[in-house]
Amino acid sequence: MNTDVYITSYLNVCSPVSVPSTTRAQLAAEYLESCRNHNTPPIDSVLQQIRELPESSIGGASRAPRLALTECALLGTAPADALEALLRKVQFRRLEIEHAAMDDEGAEALFDMIEYYESASVVSISGPRQFGIRGWQAASRMIKKSACLSELEVRESALEECHAPVLARALRPHTCRVRALCLQRALLCGEPLLCLVIALKSNSSVRELRLGDNRLSASDAAQLGSLLRFNTTIQLLDLSNNQIQDAGVGHIADALVEQAAQTPPSAATSPMSPNNCPLLGSHESRGLAFLVLWNNQLTRNCATHLSKALVSCRL
């Protein structure tokens, strides 16, 4: 990451970065020049996306819808440093890293840059990951320091047991602003889930927790029940396509009964709105409002548990 070209007057807030007006063609030329300076080939899909950017998004008047870094090479610092020509002038609603070859050096450079320029409201990481502990540490810094990052998605590859605590630590501080956490098809069962639960017990920002396709069992559901007893700010819990079975539903239902006794839940407010980012602590604790249990090997025997939860929550 080339700090020599940073905007020195940058303020770490969600307001757009103020830079001179630039056309799409000029921005594409600047990206190509940056690639030459860093001795790295340009990413063809990035060039195509630059050519399709809304003109109003260049310079920070509004956020562009999406930047996809798909099936590209982000090995070493050079490819990410070259992207600075784009990221210092354009902010995005979503930044997607999909099946990209990215090592620790590339992850550190990219995540540090996303945090510095407030490049995205949503960061999605999907597919196999080549980066290790240093890359996750950079991702953790991005989560803790970014003022605009409201949603994090990690999909389609296992979250290793040694990396889960690093991600979890980013969710503990009261400064965490992430409102939606999506960890799908990440083999989160067992110890990685326990790390997440411990961190989220003291988290006051996350409203949506999506844990679909993680092979979660009844014992994992017991851990999530423990989470709900402590955390009354999570409003949506998606456990679809797991294996929690009737016993797991029982653990969740028992937790909801206890939670309802503390603070009655309400579905009056949407659990997650990308355009609504109230200050931390300003949102009333309401308890769980939405629970998704599709495809969890449930039988009619779970009806007793669900009935108990529904009655206690006065839905």
Instruction: Give the model confidence (pLDDT) of 267-289 as tens digits.
Output: 444 444 444 444 334 445 578 99
Provide the residue ranges of all domains of the chain, joining segments of one domain with +. Answer: 11-149
Q: Report the pLDDT value the prediction gives residue 18, as an integer from 0 to 100.
A: 46
Q: Render pLDDT for 248-263 as a digit per residue (tens, 0 to 9).
A: 999 999 999 998 887 6
Nearest to 70 by CA among 49, 85, 89, 88: 49
Average pLDDT rounded to a whole number, residues 239-254: 95
Burial label for 68, CB within 10 Å (0-12, 13-18, 19+), is: middle
State the pTM of this model.
0.85
pLDDT tens figures, 54-82: 989 998 789 999 999 999 999 999 999 99
d(CA 27, CA 7): 16
